[in-house]
Amino acid sequence: MATDRKNARKYVERGLEAPKYGQRKQNTMFGDRLATYLRERVKACPVRTARRLFREI
């Protein structure tokens, strides 16, 4: 059990079970969305410079 000893003692004294948490929902990473956007912009205009793409962000 990876809890503080005082919390563990509290659960044992009260006869409580330690809380069990489910898995977190996976969120789309901002970097993934940004990479997708940049790829679309480069496909739309291949001569676009990195400086201009940075300004668009």
The pLDDT value given to residue 57:
82
Count up the domains in the chain and report the number: 1
Amino acid letter, 16: L
Distance CA 46, CA 22 (A): 45
Whether 15 is in a domain gets the answer no
Residues 53, 37: contact at Cβ < 8 Å?
Answer: no
Question: What is the predicted pLDDT for the residue at 7?
Answer: 80
Question: How far is residue 56 from each of residues 21, 42, 47, 49, measured CA to CA in Å?
Answer: 40, 12, 15, 11
Domain that holds residue 56: 27-57
Q: Which residue in 29, 22, 55, 26 sits closest to 41, CA to CA?
A: 55
Residue 42 lies in a domain: yes
Six token digits for residue 18 = 């330690």
Which residues in the chain come in under a pLDDT of 70? 1-2, 18
The predicted structure's pLDDT at residue 2: 64
Per-residue pLDDT at 43: 92
pLDDT given for residue 10 in this prediction: 81
Q: 40 in a domain, yes or no?
A: yes
